Structure 1
């Protein structure tokens, strides 16, 4: 179907970052409101050359040093050229880093996120990606697309998420899923990591280590992107994709709910990213009040653990309000947090 007839590729959110020598230096993801997310080191490379955005021995990734710090300062205020490899209409456009959208790598590890905004509207056959929380990672099949040397030079590289690991505790390791297919190489940094089941983007490629025998890559999951650049928070769709998410309502009816309020609050709270993080959940429970933590029947099951917290809080006049305040400290006004507060407002009104 011709573009004029309304054809739109579901993966046309793939962007390329073009360097000064008119050579692609990395990838990016188009998001709603003409926002673009990529790696900070890719933006630096666009301003100063690929060597400024590559760490030796890793194939592609952030690198520290005085020269890079100077380049990073320039990149933050530069106009960056992007093109649209997924568009039949083609074309190029400039973009620049938005306020709150710059988190360069710290000590070659944490961060390495950049959020830009296009200086105009993308081609009409290019739609933004659905950015969703990564959530549980182990065993999930994903793919990422790049054309490192221009059109026809790459393709979709498939991988399996192996779990957290790499130079940064934020990173998730990707193991090659198709030895006969395209391999992750220099140029994949910033590429959107697409869930094979849902088509949603779960994060961005951040580093690759490639040898003749093995290729290993790493991604910054959406949770890390939002942590370093909160401007993305409202862009994230509230539910994680696929059957692995603990927020899936199909997992909830098997529980023996004591009250309808318990069910509704647990269903909303289990979608909040901070409550899915074990250490952060422990801190939140401790922040509710000294009388709460000792009486919560903790469970290794995420849903059962959150359900137990909700059940205890419902027994105290203001404990759910204190729970909401503790979670809000981490979440601010994220969409899942706003949904939990909406549900609590309804439940609270019905209990009066």
Structure 2
């Protein structure tokens, strides 16, 4: 999202609800900042269905794709941000989602197939899943990637969902990430829109507006939300179990006691099906097989490795192997992959 003089203020998400054409979702505070609107909430003159943006004041650009467009505010598409630094007694916050719905002017260039909007889905329960976010802080016009875990609802707005950073190093959600898509790699869908981040960057806490909340604010969006189809899969082969066991042994927090602590992190329904083995590799292979055979077992293993590994490189490598060889949430074990 750019001001008319090309200054970068944040990100946005291309969407195409059926029958409504291409639109852009971003944060209301990004739009207000790009236009230099006054006021602590930058809401002056823009509240209610009659609020309009000055024509020609805001640009949308796809980095490196040779496509940009002047955008306008859609009537009924403005939902101001909640107060971040103060509490107003008795104020209703349900509609303060920090959302702006924009549409390109009619003479904007057409999007090519490779620039089509990403698929969208509801966020659903905050279940500690890992997500990826591409933001555009100053000095990074091509974007930086941050990773986070979906933690729970709360923060400045009742509709928002908290995102906790998972890496000790690397990008954190900061200024320039507002309006960015929150991508769930497990279901290959955008599940939310980044709205705010804690001022203290060492805290690594941010928030997003989940897509189902955005659809409640702007109902046409509901037609673009698609639940991912369950993907059948088969349990990992003996070779894949061996590969995953090797990767798990490389994680210091798991290998130091031959996976016993990892085993204790699993649900009882999975844990009791893990036989004891004197050799570390066979013990971890047994853990993998038990998780693959139980509904939800692979998701439980994924959460346990993520929690014990603390975002380390060996843990990330083990999670990558696990994602490749083990069923994801919603997949049916025992069927052909």
Shorter-chain TM-score: what band?
Answer: 0.5 to 0.7
Whichever structure has more helix as a proportion of its residues is 1
Say yes or no: does 1:29 pair with 2:7. no
TM-score where L is the length of structure 2:
0.57
SS of the residue 1:70 aligns to? coil
Mapping of residues 121-270 of structure 1, within 5 Å: 121-149=110-138, 151-152=140-141, 154-237=143-226, 239=227
**Does the C-alpha gap of structure 1 residues 240 and 136 become closer, same or farther in structure 2, counting only changes over 3 Å?**
farther
Task: Choose the corresponding residue for 2:70, options 62, 69, 94.
Answer: 94
CA distance in 2, matches of 1:149, 1:172: 25
CA distance in 2, matches of 1:46, 1:211: 23
TM-score where L is the length of structure 1:
0.54
Q: Is the 8 A contact 2:52 2:75 kept in 1?
A: no
Q: Is the 8 A contact 1:100 1:231 kept in 2?
A: no
SS of the residue 1:114 aligns to? strand
Match of 2:329 in 1: none
**Does the C-alpha gap of structure 1 residues 81 and 241 become closer, same or farther in structure 2, counting only changes over 3 Å?**
farther
Q: Cα offset for 1:212?
A: 5.0
Q: Is the 8 A contact 1:100 1:230 kept in 2?
A: no
Q: Which runs of 5+ in 1 are unaligned?
A: 1-16, 54-62, 249-352
Q: Cα offset for 1:20?
A: 4.1
Match of 2:59 in 1: 81
Mapping of residues 36-75 of structure 1, within 5 Å: 36-48=24-36, 63-64=40-41, 68-70=43-45
SS of the residue 2:32 aligns to? helix
- RMSD of the alignment, in Å? 2.7
**Does the C-alpha gap of structure 1 residues 100 and 231 become closer, same or farther in structure 2, counting only changes over 3 Å?**
farther
Q: Is the 8 A contact 1:113 1:229 kept in 2?
A: no
Q: Cα offset for 1:236?
A: 1.4
**Does the C-alpha gap of structure 1 residues 199 and 240 become closer, same or farther in structure 2, counting only changes over 3 Å?**
closer
CA distance in 2, matches of 1:83, 1:242: 34
Q: Is the 8 A contact 1:141 1:161 kept in 2?
A: yes
CA distance in 1, matches of 2:221, 2:184: 19
Equivalent residues, number: 212
CA distance in 2, matches of 1:98, 1:155: 29
CA distance in 2, matches of 1:107, 1:40: 13
